[in-house]
Chain A
Amino acid sequence: EPEVTQTPSHQVTQMGQEVILRCVPISNHLYFYWYRQILGQKVEFLVSFYNNEISEKSEIFDDQFSVERPDGSNFTLKIRSTKLEDSAMYFCASSENTIYFGEGSWLTVV
């Protein structure tokens, strides 16, 4: 069964550093997403991406964040100048209609 894959599964970074989280969406899907989940809290929408551009973003997705599809398979989330409060599980997802999630990347900012 096709699945969304994410790397790394866990990353620890120092405050102020840049982080890139990588994702390979399901191959025939056209919509890609990043969500995050702070420990103990709900799943929060960050951004959706379609046809090589951002189609929607939430208030959380400010100038600190960016997304890119550098080639035909990868979809990345870059977080610049990380803060302690960026510590969370970041889920990549893709869809035709139903959204399917990757296993997530745990980001710990220390």
Chain B
Amino acid sequence: GQNIDQPTEMTATEGAIVQINCTYQTSGFNGLFWYQQHAGEAPTFLSYNVLDGLEEKGRFSSFLSRSKGYSYLLLKELQMKDSASYLCAVRDISNSGYALNFGKGTSLLVTP
């Protein structure tokens, strides 16, 4: 199985930068995904890392270190609408259907 850990809750100020960490343990890593989920809504795709390094997409960046089993999602210039749960999800090569396994999510509260 996989073990995916991320902090339960974080709080940050509007306009600031926040980093949400995710650690994972998996026998056959095949990609790490970040999703955003507002309460009562579907997860929406933010980023995908399969190689080490930083992927930047606008205000959002995601970093991966496969040797450390570690990723982070960086959110810049925080806006109130960024208050949501951020889900780290890992794909393993043993997942024959390319399914993802999700962490419990980090609930981010952006305050004025």
Contact = CB atoms under 8 A, between A and B. Distances in A.
A91 B99 CA distance: 13
- Tell me whether chain A's interface is mostly helix, strand or loop, or mixed: strand
Interface of B: 33, 37, 40-45, 48, 87, 89, 95-105
A55 interface: yes
Contact of B96 (A44, A55, A97): A55
A49 B97 CA distance: 7
A56 B99 contact: yes
8 contacts: A48-B97, A50-B97, A55-B97, A98-B33, A99-B33, A99-B45, A99-B98, A99-B100
A42 B105 contact: yes
A1 to B, nearest CB: 11
B97 A100 contact: no
B98 A43 contact: no
A42 B102 contact: yes
Contacts of A33: 97, 99
A53 to B, nearest CB: 10
Contacts of A54: 97
Contacts of B101: 45
B2 to A, nearest CB: 11
B98 A48 contact: yes
